[in-house]
Amino acid sequence: MGETKITRDSEQYSDIYRTFLRRGARGLTDVEARALTISSGGTALAPTGWSNYIDMEIAEDAILSRVQKIETPNAFVLPIYAEDATVNTNVAESALGTQSSPTFAKPVQGTTSGTGGTYYTFAQKKVSAWVKVSNELLNDSKGAQDVEEFLRRVLVAGLIGEVNRQILIGNGTSECQGSFNSAKGYSRTASTGVATTNTMKDVISAVWGATASALSPLAYESWINSVAVINSRLVASFDPSFFPVLFPSFRGTMVNGTTVEGLPTVYHRLSTTATSGDTLVHFFNPAKYLLAHSFGAFSVARYSEAAADTNETIFVASIRCDGSITDKFSILNVNRA
């Protein structure tokens, strides 16, 4: 009779995995070690429940829940939308059925990738998080289930935090292409105008293109779906008359009278303290960001006394993903004048 295959979604696999977390590969039999397919680097695939848990946490996350997501282990190329969908204006009604009817611009596949080109090559990169745990806790047999739950929560939180950081300010080479750096690469930067005030009015004016700058404004569709990423270095100043972007939400009135309120905000260390030329706030529409991932290949490596104190063990969790903005007109950096 052949042996029953131990799958990642089985309780038997979970039991073996708990033993691996507590005692390492040396605590497993040869059969158990093969079931976990432990690599030469000490990495083992986590049970399916761990992957399901990260999916659940992502659904609750302020940014990750809103970005486009695709699960794939393969690299692929995607055009970046580089033109606003524009229509001909001042066209006579009698001419609407002729060749001068409204036309729409289309994205074009270019020959260069990254923020300076018209397409982005998605090639998954490793994202890791780690935690140190005392060996005394791991050796407590009564706490096996609790130790696994603790490790899962901490490692998943660390991974989500790192992916969020990369979505905002990733370098696009060894990390996801961050929206903030995309805005810099696509010259999507507006100035607030008057350097001595930098009021909320100045910020809104820059976003909607009401300044003398030739920069096209942030599209209304992207504005109402944006997250306002405030440069956390602004917190050094608590004078609301000088740095009103510290307010908890953005609101304003469009030229046509439409009022927008309650734009969600997050704080992040975008650049240096906002002196002249530095970013006050980054506007970013997550719905225009694509994250390609393989969260199902969630793996954890166990390192005993490696870069840790004698009585501690380090656990390193890894997933693979890559991401980029798919429409350059959905992002904008607003710099202090």
Write the pLDDT tens digit of every residue in 16-73.
998 888 888 888 888 888 888 877 667 888 898 888 899 899 888 888 999 999 999 8
Q: Residue 34 in contact with residue 290, Cβ under 8 Å?
A: no
Q: Residue 191 in contact with residue 211, Cβ under 8 Å?
A: yes
Binned at pLDDT 50, 70 and 90, residue 154 comes out as very high
What local confidence, expressed as pLDDT, does residue 4 receive?
63
pLDDT of 249 strictly over 50: no
How far, in Å, CA of 198 to CA of 116, rounded? 29
What local confidence, expressed as pLDDT, does residue 251 receive?
53
How far, in Å, CA of 269 to CA of 162, rounded? 14
What local confidence, expressed as pLDDT, does residue 240 receive?
47
Average pLDDT, the chain: 77
pLDDT of 179 strictly over 90: yes
Binned at pLDDT 50, 70 and 90, residue 7 comes out as confident
User: Which 3 state secondary structure label does DSSP give 239?
Assistant: coil
pLDDT of 9 strictly over 60: yes
**What average pLDDT does the segment 317-334 reach?**
91
Which range, of 90-94, 111-115, 129-133, averages the lowest pLDDT?
Answer: 90-94
How far, in Å, CA of 17 to CA of 6, rounded? 12
What local confidence, expressed as pLDDT, does residue 88 receive?
45
More confident residue, 324 or 222: 324
User: Which 3 state secondary structure label does DSSP give 131?
Assistant: strand
Residue 49 one-letter amino acid: G
Residue 73 corresponds to which tokens in the numbers above?
Answer: 């282990």
Q: How far is CA 332 from the centre of its chain?
A: 16
**What average pLDDT does the segment 255-277 reach?**
68
What local confidence, expressed as pLDDT, does residue 92 receive?
54
pTM (2 decimals)? Answer: 0.81
Percentage of the residues of the chain whose pLDDT score is greater than 90 = 23
Which letter, b or e, does each residue of 222-243 get, where b requires 16 or more Cβ atoms within 10 Å of its Cβ?
bbebbbbbbbebbeeeeeeeeb
